[in-house]
Amino acid sequence: MSENASRKEALAPATDSTLQREIAGLMVEALNLETSANAIDPQAPLYGEGLGLDSIDILELALVVSKRYGVQLRADNSDNLKIFASLQALADHIAAHRSK
The percent of residues above 70 in pLDDT, for the chain, comes to 84
Backbone angles phi, psi at 53, to 5 degrees: -70, 150
DSSP 3-state helix, strand, coil percentages of the chain (rounded to 5)?
60, 5, 35
Give the span between the Cα atoms of 67 and 99, in whole angstroms: 10
One-letter amino acid of 3:
E
Task: Note the pLDDT of residue 97.
Answer: 92
Q: In terms of pTM, does the model score above 0.75?
A: yes
| Confidence tier at 10 by pLDDT (50, 70, 90) | very low
* Closest by CA position to 71, among listed 51, 87, 49, 92: 92
Which CATH class for the 3-97 domain?
A: mainly alpha
Task: Note the pLDDT of residue 2.
Answer: 40
